[in-house]
Amino acid sequence: MEIYILTLFPEMVTDALSHSIVGRAAASGKLRIHALNIRDYSTDAHKKVDDYPYGGGAGMVMFCQPIYDCVNAAKEMSGGDAPVIYMSPQGERFDQGIAKELSGNQSIILLCGHYEGIDERVIEEVVDRQISIGDYVLTGGELAAMVVADAVARLVPGVLHNDQSAAGESFENDLLEYPQYTRPRVWRDREVPEILLSGDHAKVDAWRYEQSVERTKRLRPDLLREG
Ligand code: ADE
């Protein structure tokens, strides 16, 4: 899968996505992260990308041309039909379901805004979908794009070594994940639940399911009501 991130701060995203599981997936070629610098596409002599807002008000607005050209370049590189997603607090709320949906694409394009936002006309012209990572305002879309890229990347087949890891975890089937334990068996007088040492896989599975349901009821009852 290919993830294009269009930003004024490409190093911010390439650095953050070069570690651990996502970094390894990128190194192995299962995943390609392309960070495109929107400024490189500005035709302005000084590589300007923003201007004062019509109607006045605080801050600057990113103008259409560099964004439009950068999106078109990403589309061309990706082979054509990648959805263009604008990271915005006005978008639909990101969740595991959207992550799954996006992971089904061969390529996705994540557009990061900055300053007071981007000219509405370029949103109308090129954006297919707007996604928010929560009800708070970030200084730019980069952190949000990284969140989306990370959540999507780990759903790409082969990125997690064990396909079971994505299947049993939080939000699958609208349940939170069961508690995990590793050695030592006793730590500061706290023992690993006996059943996990039993070797009885059916019992272990049943116990884990019960734990998931109990946790979800206690910590996130809204997930059960939604389902
Ligand atoms: N850009 C600024 N705030 C954001 C948010 N909450 N989600 C996605 N993109 C954003």
Residue nearest to atom 7 of ligand 1 (CA): 132
Task: Determine the distance separating the centroid of ligand 1 and the alpha carbon of 31, expressed in angstroms.
Answer: 24
135 touches ligand 1 (CB under 6 Å): no
87 touches ligand 1 (CB under 6 Å): yes
What is the per-residue pLDDT across 179-207, written as a single tens digit (0 to 9) for each?
Answer: 999 999 999 999 999 999 999 999 999 99
Task: Determine the distance separating the centroid of ligand 1 and the alpha carbon of 180, expressed in angstroms.
Answer: 32
Min mean pLDDT across 18-22, 64-68, 200-204, 217-221 is at 18-22
Task: Determine the distance separating the centroid of ligand 1 and the alpha carbon of 89, expressed in angstroms.
Answer: 4
Neighbours of 194 (CB within 10 A): 9
Average confidence (pLDDT) over 17-35 = 92
Among the atoms of ligand 1, which is closest to the Cα of residue 135? 6
Closest CA to 2 of 70, 73, 77, 67: 77
Token pair for residue 63?
A: 């103008």
Task: Determine the distance separating the centroid of ligand 1 and the alpha carbon of 22, expressed in angstroms.
Answer: 22
141 touches ligand 1 (CB under 6 Å): yes
Share of the chain above pLDDT 70, in %: 96
**Phi, psi of 20, rounded to the nearest 5 degrees:** 55, -140
What is the per-residue pLDDT across 108-121, written as a single tens digit (0 to 9) for each?
Answer: 999 999 888 999 99
Q: Note whether 130 and 90 are within 8 A (CB).
A: yes
Among the atoms of ligand 1, which is closest to the Cα of residue 136? 6
Amino acid sitting at position 213: V
Contacts of 144 by beta carbon, 8 Å cutoff, 6+ apart: 87, 94, 112, 131, 132, 133, 138
88 touches ligand 1 (CB under 6 Å): yes
Task: Determine the distance separating the centroid of ligand 1 and the alpha carbon of 69, expressed in angstroms.
Answer: 22
